[in-house]
Amino acid sequence: MARKYFGTDGIRGRVNTPKLTPEVALKAGMAAGRIFTRGDHRHRVVIGKDTRLSGYMIESALVSGFTAVGMDVFQFGPLPTPAVAMLTRSLRADMGVMITASHNPFEDNGIKFFGPDGQKLSDEVEEEIERLMAAGLEQGLAPSNKIGRAKRVDDSQARYIEFAKRTFPRNLRLDGMRIVIDCANGAAYKVAPEVLWELGADIVAIGVSPDGTNINLDCGSTAPQALCNKVREVRADFGIALDGDADRVVMADEKGQIIDGDQILALIAKSWSKSGDLKGGGVVGTVMSNAGLDHYLGSLNLKLARAAVGDRYVLEEMKKGGFNVGGEQSGHIILSDVSTTGDGLVAALQVLAVLTQGKPASEAAHLFNPLPQVLENVRFKKGSPLDDARVKSSIQDANAKLGATGRVLVRKSGTEPLIRVMAEGEDEKLVRAVVRQIASAIEEVAA
């Protein structure tokens, strides 16, 4: 069936438009609750959220939906997405929910669902939720004496802090290291600085004053210039920038130079391969991963398996190939030995474990020279620009121009009304030209 609500990462859209209203959240909670009500025990669902103003509204609607079908609800308040996934398993909940639009602006919000194993739902389960939402849910309402209860859980942040600290090697400390942490005014604004401080670091925290409307605003992993500037200003040894729900991360060395997800994958692969902890003979990236990463891993006799964009698809490829490290260039890093989804803070701790060995980040965390790669996003209002003959012809022409020395990837975003145009190759000038050529064609069609 055609999807009306779910994209590549749950339900996401502009708040109080048809894609995401209190009614949509209510129906989604009722439908998901029905699917995960199995057996005779008291069923429970855990809910976390980021710091968006609309989180209160969506949370209330979800709580009503879940309790209406007989599920007890545990409300965590602001907490990273990976913390919700972890606590879903830890508390033996039947499912988990994170209210977030990740790196999007505050006007957007979304609903991410996790199964009892702490993993995101399959396409089939999401389609079943949509089917129930469309079919009507009156038949699934709980009897009056079996309606669920809702309560706040006060120690959820402390639980995640202890979990994150346990992923850092016990014999290491961050004493003497000055670290800038940018929490994007999002879900990790309390827990991330606390974890780093308790491990011994000297912390300079930015993006830790959420007001409901400033999440991801000129800060965080999608606007890392604030991090780079602060690292240089305070002469820090390292910088960490999370996104709104803290499931992705980018970093900065002591010079304020960006360390993206590809470089993080390379560093962890090298470190874990040396220690014998790397599984699968390599790592999983995506179709967006830079060719430079592929070449570098090859020099270590390691492989790069590519998945579709989206951490859910990365995890699927990891399972299929027996890998325990995977991620995206954007900073979703999955370390499946400790987490079921991307965890920006835990990934940063693995990089910090390498830096404690004495090398500065500028030397330890830039392991390969990426091939010139250009990405341009083109917004559209309706229709399918990629089906237009003019766009198809432009893409074909771009591929011919790059030849065997490069590649073109054009795809529709699963979370926003955008067409993402990416190209990479040895000639940066040519790469930029073909990206603009394709983007112009899309703009003409989408006008």
Q: Which of 60, 64, 90, 102 is catalytic?
A: 102
Beta strands in 282-440 (DSSP E): 282-286, 303-307, 325-327, 333-335, 373-379, 406-412, 418-425
C-alpha of 198 from chain center: 25
| Complete edge-to-edge strand list for the sheet that includes strand 178-182 | 202-206, 178-182, 238-242, 249-252, 258-259
Contact 328, 288 (CB under 8 A): yes
Q: What is the DSSP string of 274-295?
A: HHT---TTEEEEETTS-HHHHH
Q: Between 156-166 and 191-198, two packed helices, what is the crossing angle to 10 degrees?
A: 40
Containing H/E element for 136?
Answer: none
Q: What is the DSSP string of 400-424?
A: HHHGGGEEEEEEE-SSSSEEEEEEE
CA distance 408 to 31: 40
Q: Is 440 an annotated catalytic residue?
A: no
Contact 328, 309 (CB under 8 A): yes
Contact 191, 225 (CB under 8 A): no
CA distance 333 to 310: 11
Active site residues: 102
